[in-house]
Amino acid sequence: MGVSGVFLATNEVISSSGIAKPGMRAKLSRMSFAPLPDNLPLQKSRLLRRFEDLISPKTDAEFEALARESRMLTLQNFGRTMRLFAPLYVSNECVNSCRYCGFSRDNPILRVTLSLDQVIAEGRYLASEGFRQVLLVAGEHPKFVSRTYLADCVHALASDFSSISIEVGPMEAAEYAPIVEAGAEGLVVYQETYNREIYAEMHTSGPKRDFNWRLDCAERGYDAGFRRLGIGALFGLAAWEQEAVALAAHVEYLLKRCWQAQITVSLPRLRPAAGEFQPAFSMTDRELAQLICAFRISFPQVGIVLSTRERAALRDVLTSLGVTMMSAGSHTEPGGYTGQGASDLHRTVRGRIVAPAFQNGEGTLATGQFEISDERSAAEVATVLRRRGFEPVWKDWDPALLAT
C-alpha cells in the first residue's frame, strides 16, 4: 500500500469522534507505519504540511507568536503541571553496535546487569526522592535482559511506583505480554533516525540494524497492552528538519492506529558518550525551541518529554513553551543512584566478558550511556518549577482510584 493509501485507510476507520468503530480495529492492527517514511517527500497530509511550515525559518516576531500559541495550548491541555520521572538503568549490556552510544558492544566499558535486589534498592532511593513514575532502561541483550527479568523488575517495583515504563530492545507483542501483566504501562522506543541510509550507517551490527522492526515496535507494544507510547528521534544523526517531519508523521499515524494510548514525543540531542562519536548535524537551542512549539501547535494533546541531556538554564526556559514531562536528578549508569552493582562489574571486549581492570581516573560504577547536562537534584528542579509557576507532578493517577 502506498502512503496515501495508508492515510486514507486509516482515516476511513476512525469515526468523527476519533474513536475507532467496533469491527474496524482489526483493520487498524494490520497497518504498519514502516512504508511511510520512504514516501514522505511526495505524500504529506495537510497537518504535516503545516508542521513543515511551522519549523521553517522564522523572524523573531514570528517565533514569538509561535511561542505564545504553544504556551497557550499547553496551558489549555495540561494546565500548569509538569510530570517528573526518573530513568532507572538496570543493565548496560548490549549486543548492538550503535556508533553514537556509550553502551555500544564495541566499547570496552564497565558493564553490569543489576540483580533484582539491586533494582529494588535503586527504586527505593528514587521513591524516597519523591518519584512515583519510573522508566526502566537497558541495553539490548536477550541473555542478560530477558522478558522474565524485566517482568520481575516491574513486579518488584510496582508497589513503589504508580507508573512504570520500559525502554529496552524491541520485542514481539507476545514477549511484551508478561511485562504488561507485571504492571508496566509505558513503552518507549526511539527510532533514532528516520533516514534509512543514515540508520544503516549508524547501526553497524546486531538486531537493531532492522529498521522496520524498530519502526513498528510501538504498534506491537500497543497490541500487547501498553497504554503510554513514547517515540522520538536522536537529533544530530541527520538533518533535523527531515527527522522532525518524519517524527511528526509517526505521531500522526500512531494517534490513529493506537488511539487508546497516550502518545509522548522526545526530542533528544546527542550528548558526549564513550566512543566519542561526533554528530554530523547540528541543531541550535532556538531550533529545538521552535520544534517544541511546532509539535505543541500540531498535536495539542501529545506529551512532550525533556531529558537532562539539556543544560539547566535551557530546560527552565523550555518548560514554559510546551514540555509536559521531565526527567530530573538522572543517572545513566546502572546502579548510579545508590552504587549498586559495583562488585559485579566486567568489561566486554569483542563480545567476550573480561575482568574490569580499572583504568586511571575510572570510578567503580558501571559506565553511563551518555553525559547528562542538567545535574540538579529532583528537589532542586521541583523548586525551580514552583518558582516559575508550575506544579511538579510526581504521580498523575492512582490505580486504586480507577478500581473504585
Judged by the rule CB under 6 A, the positions of this chain that interact with ligand SF4 are 94, 96, 98, 101, 103-104, 139-140, 208
Nearer to ligand SF4, 140 or 185 (CB): 140
Min separation Cβ 101 and ligand SF4, Å? 3
Give CA–CA dist 83/175, Å, rounded: 29
Grid cell 511538579 is found at 392
Nearer to ligand SF4, 183 or 236 (CB): 236
Nearer to ligand SF4, 98 or 270 (CB): 98
Give CA–CA dist 234/111, Å, rounded: 23
In this structure, how many other beta carbons lie within 10 angstroms of the beta carbon of residue 57?
Answer: 9
Amino acid identity at 17? S
Min separation Cβ 202 and ligand SF4, Å? 9
Nearer to ligand SF4, 131 or 199 (CB): 199
Evaluate the CA torsion angle 256, 225, 89, 170 in order and state its sign. negative
Distances (CA, A) of 230 to 140, 262, 325: 17, 8, 11
Nearer to ligand SF4, 89 or 295 (CB): 89
Min separation Cβ 386 and ligand SF4, Å? 34
Min separation Cβ 104 and ligand SF4, Å? 4
Nearer to ligand SF4, 139 or 341 (CB): 139
In this structure, how many other beta carbons lie within 10 angstroms of the beta carbon of residue 197?
Answer: 9
Nearer to ligand SF4, 103 or 144 (CB): 103
Nearer to ligand SF4, 208 or 309 (CB): 208
CA proximity to 113, closest of 161, 157, 153: 153
CA proximity to 221, closest of 247, 258, 267, 259: 258
Min separation Cβ 53 and ligand SF4, Å? 32
Min separation Cβ 249 and ligand SF4, Å? 22
CB-facing half-sphere around the CA of 253: CA atoms within 13 A: 28
Give CA–CA dist 193/246, Å, rounded: 9
Interacting residues of 15 by C-beta distance below 8 A, sequence separation 6+: 21
Nearer to ligand SF4, 64 or 201 (CB): 201
Min separation Cβ 72 and ligand SF4, Å? 36
φ, ψ for residue 152, nearest 5 deg: -65, -40
Fill in the DSSP letter of residue 324. -
Give CA–CA dist 293/318, Å, rounded: 10
The four Cα atoms 234, 237, 239, 240 give a dihedral, to 10 degrees, of: 10
Nearer to ligand SF4, 93 or 374 (CB): 93
Min separation Cβ 111 and ligand SF4, Å? 11
Contact status, residue 74 vs residue 322, Cβ threshold 8 Å: yes
- With b meaning 16 or more CB within 10 Å and e meaning fewer, what string describes 214-253? bbbbbbbbbbbbbebbbbbbbbbbbbbbbbbbbbbbbbbb
Min separation Cβ 97 and ligand SF4, Å? 7
Min separation Cβ 106 and ligand SF4, Å? 9
Grid cell 500500500 is found at 1
Amino acid identity at 389? G
